[in-house]
Structure 1
Amino acid sequence: MKTQGSIGRMTMRGVFTAIAVIVTIICVIPYVGVLAAAASGSFETLGQLAQTVLGRYAATTLLLVVLVMTGSAIIGASAAWLVTMTDFPGRRWLEIALALPLAFPAYVLAYGYTHILDHPGIVQSTLRDITGWGPRDYWFPEIRSLGGAALMLTLVLYPYVYLLARAAFSAQGASTFLAARVLGRSPFRAFMSVSLPMARPAIASGVMLVAMETIADFGTVAYFGVQTFAVGIYQSWFTMADRAAAAQLALGLLSFALLLAMLERSSRGEARYANGKRNAPMQRIVLKNGQKWGATLFCLLPVLLGVLLPVLALGTMAAGSEQNLLSPRYLGFIRNSLTLASIAAVLAVVAALVLGTLHRVRASRLTGASLYVARMGYAVPGGVIAVGLLVPFAAFDNGLDAWMRATFDISTGLLFTGSIWLLIFAYLIRFLAAAIGAYEGGIASVGPNMDAAARTLGQDMPGLVRRVHMPLLRTSLLTAGLIVFVDVMKELPATLIMRPFNYDTLAVQAYRLASDERLEGAAAPSLVIAAIGLIPVILLCRRIGTGRA
């Protein structure tokens, strides 16, 4: 006969399993929705797109990804090696500052640099005033271009590579690098032949994250007029009012994103390097006068271009914009942004806890598959998720409303479509991987013996989470919540497509003002988004700053 306690434990285990199943189903819906909508729609519009702009979408997206990956890899890996392995003026604060651009959405930098470098901007206006040249008397690089978009994305995404590469370089033992130096290799050649190959898996993971973020970007490429798949999805949905074509484009982008995700997973899973025991601490390389100032300039330049210059430009613009952040209208934008971000962050942390704990306590193919599906969302652009959710839920709402009208003469309206909950589901799918990653990073330090001891003392699964895991994972869970919170604050394509009527956020307001060429007005909400984004980045920097002195 089962005791009441055992029945209660089975019930709570069932609750955890039910939550995990619900989260997994929510994460799967967009992919099924995109496939169904793409297959059921007419291919006439897609055929027209194939004859006109589809090739341009593919080529531009691929070129943009290659440019941003290359730039991020060079800046991130080189800066990480310099701050980890060498000593130069300003190293201590630059190793922290190099991660700060991660707090800025690329479209925020795009607004700032347009104000600085566009034809009526500060630089070209000053140049014309000094020289007396007319608009056609000189050539100046066009910021609103593919190259400009690649630069903006590189400046905000290289920290992915930098943080992972810095951790990898810090973990390397001194013996292999010193052996290369003893064999006559210069510091640079030792870096290229020893340190860099050993850090390759971490760098490859960072570069793949950069690639996935690049294909997901909409705000920057749309504002600069760069025709990528993300822009094509939005135009098909709103401009052409052809949801089937949008779904077909989304399916193509989804396939590319999942391919990148598989490559990233493969790069992590196949490469193995043995660092050995780090018996002797790595002695920092003392750079000569020219080299040390060159290292300072190299590490300072991304911070200057990715943080200081945009903040200065946006601050100047915001000061003259007459945008009142304390007005009821702006307070509404801030309230909407904070509400969506807070709910999504809490749900993501809870979902990560449930999925991770279930797999830890009762590991099986099903729990492993649930974690894999939950992680896939980070590789999928927000626009694809929006299309994949709206199509099936709109069909459900319309079908239910028609049935209720025919049966009971009652209109149910749109229960899901156009609600904030469907938008929050999109955020959860998109950013749940970040919460799972933070959870797994923290739980790795909790030995299985602690779980066994808790079960021996009669703790069920919720008790294990509440009394053992959560106190030990407080920092990791807080980090997970903050990361999701800030990612939701910055998310633009899903919010643009799925937000309820007259329910705008800071990101939407900034994009709308910038689209109307009201850059000074767009500066104020952009600065608020960046300021909020600095919170988790600074916390993360404090953690990485506790490494080697």
Structure 2
Amino acid sequence: VLPVLILLALVVDVDTSINWARSFQWAYHSALLGGMAALVAVVLAVFLAYVKRQAHVWWVTAIYRLISLGYGVPGAILAIAILLPLATVDRFTYDMGWQVPALTGSVLALVYAYNVRFTSAALQSVDSGLQQITRHIDESARILGRTPRQVLWHVHLPVLRGSVATGMLLVIVDVIKELPATLVLRPFDFDTLAVVSYQFASDERLTEAAVPALMIVMIALVPILLLIRQGARQARSGKQ
């Protein structure tokens, strides 16, 4: 509460000439990247968790664990590691006649970096929910003539709605506050709240930095409240 109060006090002291339209544009960029990355992350998480459930082979488990390591990689290192192969692809496309970089400095590169790092958060949530579904349900559906894809679509996904929503919210919160990867890989003039907060603070323009910083808090607060509500609902259903 105290940091939020300090931010509010700084916002009150901000000059009235601040460009609020620009601030909302930064908020839109942050929310857009968070939503795109979260959508891709949960799709990958559902696919990987279901493959792991169906295929009991060592290499599937190895891939699953390898992806889970992404969350521990610092954003700056991840951005540099991703930038090098993307630049190689862009050089190839340039030689083929494409004059504009296709991958470096693009939203696609950002979403790719976010998913390398944050898919594990969605994966843990989906896998935890999938483990609550007993294999007897799978066997019953297969006896009734359902294919594995139909079992996933008609049986597992309706049950996993809460876990999928939780995974999406976790990724959104992580993406909104991610700075190093966004700072390195973002497109030109495509700033986010985290980036401009850092830039203003680096220039010691703390009152101006308070506005995007407070917006980060407010935007991230929505999925956090939804997560709390989801956890309370699951706790009540568990007691029942």
Normalised TM-score (structure 1)? 0.41
The CA distance in 1 between the partners of 2:80 and 2:183, in whole Å, is: 11
Alpha-carbon distance change, 543 to 393 in structure 1, aligned in 2, over 3 angstroms: closer
Q: Aligned pair 1:477/2:164, yes or no?
A: yes
The CA distance in 2 between the partners of 1:505 and 1:470, in whole Å, is: 33
C-alpha contact (below 8 Å) 2:162/2:230 kept by paired residues = no
Alpha-carbon distance change, 322 to 458 in structure 1, aligned in 2, over 3 angstroms: farther
C-alpha contact (below 8 Å) 1:325/1:524 kept by paired residues = no
Aligned residues: 236
Q: Which residue of 2 aligns with 1:62?
A: none
* TM alignment of 1:400-411, pairs within 5 A: 400-402=93-95, 404=96, 410-411=97-98
Alpha-carbon distance change, 324 to 530 in structure 1, aligned in 2, over 3 angstroms: farther
Question: In the alignment, residue 85 of structure 2 is paired with which amino acid?
Answer: P
Q: Aligned pair 1:462/2:149, yes or no?
A: yes
Q: Which residue of 1 aligns with 2:193?
A: 506
Q: Which residue of 1 aligns with 2:82?
A: 389
Alpha-carbon distance change, 430 to 373 in structure 1, aligned in 2, over 3 angstroms: same
State the Cα deviation string for residues 225-277 of structure 1 (Å, max 9, x = none). xxxxxxxxxxxxxxxxxxxxxxxxxxxxxxxxxxxxxxxxxxxxxxxxxxxxx
Question: In the alignment, residue 319 of structure 1 is paired with which amino acid?
Answer: V
The CA distance in 2 between the partners of 1:315 and 1:482, in whole Å, is: 25
Q: Which residue of 2 aligns with 1:436?
A: 123
Q: Aligned pair 1:448/2:141, yes or no?
A: no
Question: In the alignment, residue 490 of structure 1 is paired with which amino acid?
Answer: K
Q: Percent identity?
A: 38
Q: Which residue of 2 aligns with 1:372?
A: 65
Question: In the alignment, residue 201 of structure 2 is paired with which amino acid?
Answer: A
**Which consecutive residues of structure 2, in runs of 5 or more, have no partner in the other structure?**
none
* TM alignment of 1:250-399, pairs within 5 A: 308-322=1-15, 327-399=20-92
C-alpha contact (below 8 Å) 1:323/1:524 kept by paired residues = no
C-alpha contact (below 8 Å) 1:325/1:331 kept by paired residues = no
CA RMSD of aligned residues (A): 2.2
C-alpha contact (below 8 Å) 2:42/2:167 kept by paired residues = yes
Question: In the alignment, residue 360 of structure 1 is paired with which amino acid?
Answer: R
* TM alignment of 1:65-76, pairs within 5 A: none
Q: Aligned pair 1:489/2:176, yes or no?
A: yes
Question: In the alignment, residue 389 of structure 1 is paired with which amino acid?
Answer: I
Alpha-carbon distance change, 492 to 323 in structure 1, aligned in 2, over 3 angstroms: farther
Question: In the alignment, residue 398 of structure 1 is paired with which amino acid?
Answer: R
Matched position secondary structure for 1:496: helix
C-alpha contact (below 8 Å) 1:492/1:507 kept by paired residues = yes
Q: Which residue of 1 aligns with 2:217?
A: 530
The CA distance in 1 between the partners of 2:63 and 2:99, in whole Å, is: 33
The CA distance in 2 between the partners of 1:448 and 1:344, in whole Å, is: 31
Q: Comparing both chains, which one has the higher relative contact order based on Cα–Cα distances under 8 Å and sequence gaps of 6 or more?
A: 2
The match for 2:101 among 414, 418, 441 is 414
Alpha-carbon distance change, 528 to 363 in structure 1, aligned in 2, over 3 angstroms: same
**Which consecutive residues of structure 1, in runs of 5 or more, have no partner in the other structure?**
1-307, 405-409
C-alpha contact (below 8 Å) 1:323/1:521 kept by paired residues = no
Q: CA deviation at 1:418?
A: 1.0
State the Cα deviation string for residues 283-331 of structure 1 (Å, max 9, x = none). xxxxxxxxxxxxxxxxxxxxxxxxx110110001012214788833222
Question: In the alignment, residue 506 of structure 1 is paired with which amino acid?
Answer: L
Q: CA deviation at 1:411?
A: 3.7
Matched position secondary structure for 1:343: helix
| Larger Cα-atom Rg | 1
Alpha-carbon distance change, 363 to 323 in structure 1, aligned in 2, over 3 angstroms: farther
Question: In the alignment, residue 204 of structure 2 is paired with which amino acid?
Answer: E
